[in-house]
Amino acid sequence: MLNFSEIKLVHIDDHLLFAQGVYSLVGNESFILDLVHAQTLQEGLKVAGKMQPDVILLDYFLPDSTGIKSIRELKKVCPNTKIILLTMENNPEVMEKCRTEGAIGYLPKSISKKALIEALNNAIENIPTFPELIGHSNQPSGKNSQIKILSKREKQIAFLIAEGFTSAEIANQLFLSELTVNTHRRNLINKLGLKNSAQLVAFIENLKFMGS
């Protein structure tokens, strides 16, 4: 059960399709008093400084900044705001640095609606939400070892496929050609010993940091 009635939320992410996805998940929920999107850190600083949101959802990689710098700058203009990283960057060292800088959460972009709402609730209650605190170690070890053979780009594309994005949409988000995305899609299926895209989606779903 949610412990808050309404919150002001800012989402900073330069990928418009993903931002629209976040809005479709929580934008119309009764507890969201206001949800504003910004595409860059500078835009986010202006919005957050004026709005003083309860929570900021922050992508690690922005056109004008990266996570550590972004957290520091946002803390200057809205020191009481809770910051949650919502990102494709899954490096444990990066996550730990974000935690050290004051982030209260670190979530994969493959997160479910239920888990996102729970993380927002945790932030309001000043409860950290990080992968090692929410049972990601229960993932099958065999699949963990398989995912390690994928490149960073392949992981990005795999998770976007699992989110339901088409090859054209993924190409637009990652500034690639659709042909390149389709080549990565085939390579992913072959590398992981799968038969088709449906099996790839199921595989990635099992690797999410949080369950549905």
pLDDT tens readout for residues 32-43: 999 999 999 999
pTM above 0.85, yes or no: no
12 with 62: CB under 8 angstroms? yes
**Domain 7-133 belongs to what topology?**
Rossmann fold (3.40.50)
pLDDT tens readout for residues 109-167: 888 888 899 899 889 989 899 875 433 433 334 445 556 678 888 888 888 887 788 99
At 41, which amino acid appears?
A: L
Positions of CATH 3.40.50.2300 in the chain: 7-133
Q: In a 3-state reduction of DSSP, which class is residue 123?
A: helix
The residue assigned the tokens 């390690």 is 148
Positions of CATH 1.10.10.10 in the chain: 137-205
What number does CATH give the domain 137-205?
1.10.10.10
